[in-house]
């Protein structure tokens, strides 16, 4: 079961544990956040999160224990929402996380560079980006539409 509501405490704990980041102390409500939480028998098994960091950009963070929940339908819903406001989505990964890097590339992100201490000021980051017209998860006819400024 997937919910598109602000993150609850167990989802925040899951995301923080899986990524090593600190996701406590934020208000995960719209319009700055898009949250998807998957639960199996009440237990969190995936969190996909988008933070609108500016009027043109979303930073995407994921933590997934059960990859089967990451369906085309879910990705279509997330990326359609992201690109309804933003022109780019950014994802970062630590260099020592090949599973994360593989997942980011499979989603269609392109490698853009390296950011020293770019993740929480603790870890170096590989930076990946996706533009609307490159996104394989939204309909082709909507890829070139210009989003409205927030």
Query: Within a 10 A sphere around the Cβ of 93, how many other Cβ atoms?
Result: 23
The model's pTM is: 0.87
Label residue 122 by pLDDT band (50, 70, 90): very high
Is residue 141 predicted with pLDDT exceeding 80? no
Q: What value does the mean pLDDT of the chain take?
A: 92
CATH code for the domain defined by 2-142: 3.40.630.30
Residue 134: C-alpha distances to residues 83, 85, 105 (Å): 11, 16, 12
The per-residue pLDDT for range 52-99, each reduced to its tens digit, is 999 999 999 999 999 899 999 999 999 999 999 999 999 999 999 999
**Residue 137 token pair:** 């998860």
| Domain residue spans of the chain | 2-142
Model pLDDT for residues 35-50, shown as the tens digit of each residue: 999 999 999 999 999 9
């Amino acid at each position: 079961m997937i919910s598109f509501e602000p993150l609850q405490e167990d989802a925040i704990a899951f995301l923080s544990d899986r990524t090593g980041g600190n996701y406590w102390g934020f208000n995960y409500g719209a319009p700055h956040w898009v949250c998807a939480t998957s639960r199996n028998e009440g237990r969190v098994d995936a969190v996909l999160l988008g933070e609108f960091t500016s009027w043109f950009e979303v930073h995407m963070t994921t933590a997934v224990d059960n990859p089967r929940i990451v369906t085309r339908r879910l990705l279509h819903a997330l990326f359609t929402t992201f690109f309804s406001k933003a022109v780019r989505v950014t994802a970062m990964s630590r260099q020592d996380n090949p599973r994360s890097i593989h997942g980011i590339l499979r989603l269609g992100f392109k490698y853009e560079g390296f950011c020293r201490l770019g993740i929480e000021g603790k870890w170096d980051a590989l930076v990946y980006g996706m533009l609307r017209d490159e996104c394989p998860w939204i309909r082709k006819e909507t890829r070139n539409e210009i989003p409205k400024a927030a």
